[in-house]
Amino acid sequence: MIDFILPDIGEGIVECELLEWLVAEGDIIVEDQPVAEVMTDKATVQIPAMHSGLVTKLYYQAGEIAKVHAPLFAMQINADSAQQQEAPQVPKAHESQPQSHPEQNELQTNTIQTHRDIVDFILPDIGEGIVECELVKWLVNEGDVIVEDQPVVEVMTDKALVEIPAKYSGTVTKLYYAQGEIAKVHTALFAMQVVGSDQPSSFNVNAHTSQSTQEVHSKVESSTLTQTTGKALASPAVRRMARELEIDLAKVQGSGDKGRVLKPDLLAFKNHKTTQPAVAYAPIASGGTHTEAIRGIKAAMAKQMMHAVFTVPHFTVSEEIELDKLIEVRNQLKGNFEKQGVKLSFMPFFIKALSLALKQFPIINSQVNEDCSEITYFDDHNIGLAVDSKIGLLVPNIKGVQHLSLFEIAQKTNELVELARLGKLKSPDLKGGTISISNIGVLGGTVATPVINAPESAIVALGKIQRLPRFDAKDNVVAVNIMQVSWSGDHRIIDGATMVRFNNCWKSYLENPLTMLLELK
């Protein structure tokens, strides 16, 4: 019987809530079968089995908090799986380079018996069915001395940018991937010589008095210790060490990426030591170029846009909308929303008015099949929002807008935009959209010709709100708040007249927002 260890989920996550067991004690499971669904503060993740066998004990109940690197459940593995079984928390040998790892067949249960103390670090399961990722940036080099929990590499999936920390202290001996290459989950990322290979996952609080650990810690760069506030970013091992040393993590400035607190930071804090990071100066060069591979979100966007442009016949309709009355209504409601902790922008009004207009023009909320022989009409208005995130253009969508209140739309809009900008959206948020909005106005744009987010049939680009002169009914020049909008439609199923009528309907709700009340139930 062996324990299944909850893998590192990335991004500094040290614990998660067990939402639901997908298996029960006594169940027979197979390798890669989802066994549990857990939720972190960033996403819901399914944890797959690493071996086939019989589930003997579940260590947590639904709703309890599970710790990363702690046993999640116990199982009796099958004989064929046992032949390939390595100890929990002990890395596998790199499968793609067996000739460089003669120790591969010497791994035994609950021990590390590797040639010259060399072990491979296995890329952990990142969740959500992700099987590969792009290696964005190595944070260490071959020959570097690293410590447990130190960030070693940044990888990017098609959903998020994830930082992978080291599980042991030691020396990096080999990096198996170059930056920009695609790494597979459950294969080796790098090899390292572990400090104290007989117990590589343990850490003696007083070990800094030994020469080997002194060398490890002396080579780890750290930032100047300054006063910090808020919850510290640290792994369970670091938190345990902090408790043993009676150190308040909130007072320690982490030297890791994004302020992550590492064990050397605790030792330096305990001994009142501070170090200044080295400042590197490079000569200024000109006339150079560099080439980058298109990967991850950028690659997905490139393929999507190429498909849309070359397969969907676009046409565009532009119009201007007067927003004086909408601005007044928003100002009246803004305070009430803020009292409930929700920021009210103009976007929820645009979204709700769009949903009301779609009820009258269902063809705008439809999609055509590839050979243009069928049209599918969608009852749900799943309205997408184009967001300029740190990992590229993302278009999450709000599901079932026709059933949501303005307050609920505002809540969901704020949530999705924040998750998108952080690169932490879940896969369902990006799927199933029926129509999209691109708000170029937030960046200062006024007019655009948007590309349809295929297989959707329409998209609108919103320009910035401008105070412009216009003539009133008596030919007097007045100042009016104007927003330019540009619709692109799939000309195979939407004609220009229909798009204009649809836009006029949407425009009427925005220019006279109280008329939306007539449609609300």
Annotation marks residue 491 as catalytic: yes
Annotation marks residue 403 as catalytic: no
Ranges of beta strands (E only) in 2-64 are 2-5, 15-21, 28-29, 34-39, 44-48, 53-58
Instruction: Take residue 84 and report the two structure tokens written for it.
Output: 């390939």
Between CA 342 and CA 327 the distance in angstroms is 17
| Residue among 69, 186, 314, 491 flagged as catalytic | 491
Distance of CA 355 to the CA centre of its chain: 28
Q: DSSP string spanning 139-167? A: SS-TT-EE-TT-EEEEEE-SS-EEEEE-S
Between CA 33 and CA 18 the distance in angstroms is 17
The helix-helix angle for 347-360 and 496-511 (nearest 10°) equals 130
Q: Which residue has the tokens 């216009």?
A: 470
Instruction: Take residue 148 and report the two structure tokens written for it.
Output: 């447990």
Between CA 120 and CA 176 the distance in angstroms is 10
| Residue among 41, 80, 198, 495 flagged as catalytic | 495
N-terminal to C-terminal alpha carbon distance within the chain: 58
Between CA 121 and CA 170 the distance in angstroms is 12
Between CA 439 and CA 480 the distance in angstroms is 20
Residue 109 near residue 2 (C-beta atoms within 8 A): yes
Between CA 177 and CA 185 the distance in angstroms is 13
Instruction: Take residue 90 and report the two structure tokens written for it.
Output: 């002990």
**Residue 348 in 3-state DSSP?**
helix
Report the b/e string of 300-316 with b at 16+ CB within 10 A: beeeeeeebeeebeeeb
Instruction: Take residue 81 and report the two structure tokens written for it.
Output: 């799986």
Q: What dihedral do alpha carbons 427, 429, 430, 432 form, nearest 10°?
A: 110
Positions annotated as catalytic residues are 491, 495
